[in-house]
Chains A and B, each alone.
Chain A
Amino acid sequence: EPEVTQTPSHQVTQMGQEVILRCVPISNHLYFYWYRQILGQKVEFLVSFYNNEISEKSEIFDDQFSVERPDGSNFTLKIRSTKLEDSAMYFCASSPGRESSYNSPLHFGNGTRLTVT
């Protein structure tokens, strides 16, 4: 079964550094998402992306965050200047679309654990 893949699985960075988290969504999916989960806590929505632009973003997704689909397969989340509180598990997800697959859940990757020191 096709799956969403994320790299790296674990990223350690120093406060103030830029990080890019990478995701390869399922190939025929049209909607892409980033969520984060601080250890043992709630899964928080960051951003959704459709048709090469952001469709929704949460209050967490401030100017330090950006997303990009640089080619036909990758979907990236960039954090420009990391803070200690950015330490979390970041999940990428994709779905086929709202109309064509009304019954489809989001498919999640295995996550990237970001540790900011």
Chain B
Amino acid sequence: ELKVEQNPLFLSMQEGKNYTIYCNYSTTSDRLYWYRQDPGKSLESLFVLLSNGAVKQEGRLMASLDTKARLSTLHITAAVHDLSATYFCAAEPSFNNDMRFGAGTRLTVKP
């Protein structure tokens, strides 16, 4: 069974600082996703990463994928309060469409 682990689970950072969230997965995966969830809300897709070395950027967020290390990172640059949310990574095995989520990283950006 595919297992997905994120760290850290809780992250409190000041505005303007940089930080990275890590996502490890246990078996070969076709695709790696990052989602954002605001309290009481649904999951909003941020990035889909399909191949080794893939890097995608949107605003202050940049996601990358290393399939050999089975590792994805979500890098936050110069954080702002609006980025406060829970961020989930999710991986989908190569052999089925059973997408599994990490436990989530609850990010709080303080002024």
CB closest chain-B residue, reference A47:
B98
Assign chain B's interface to a size class: 20 to 34
A103–B50 CB distance below 8 A: yes
A58–B101 CB distance below 8 A: no
Residue interface bits B40-54, CB-to-A below 8 A is 1, else 0: 011111001010000
Q: Which one, B35, B42, B98, contacts A110 given CB within 8 A?
A: B42
Assign chain A's interface to a size class: 20 to 34
Q: How close is A90's CB to chain B, nearest CB, in angstroms?
A: 11
Which residues between 36 and 92 of chain B lie within 8 Å of chain A, taking CB atoms? 41-45, 48, 50, 88, 90
Chain B residues near A31 (CB, 8 Å)? Answer: 97
Q: Which stretch, A11-19, A20-28, A38-46, A75-83, touches the partner chain B?
A: A38-46
Q: Which one, A42, A45, A55, A106, contacts B45 given CB within 8 A?
A: A106
CA distance A56 to B98 in the complex (A): 6
Q: Which one, A44, A102, A110, contacts B101 given CB within 8 A?
A: A44
A107 within 8 A of B: yes
Binding site for B on A (CB under 8 A): 31, 33, 35, 41-45, 48, 50, 55-56, 58, 91, 98, 102-111
28 CB < 8 A contacts A-B: A42-B104, A43-B88, A43-B104, A45-B98, A45-B99, A45-B100, A45-B101, A48-B97, A50-B97, A55-B96, A55-B97, A56-B97, A56-B98, A58-B98, A91-B42, A98-B97, A104-B48, A105-B33, A105-B35, A105-B48, A106-B33, A106-B45, A106-B99, A107-B45, A108-B35, A108-B43, A109-B42, A110-B41
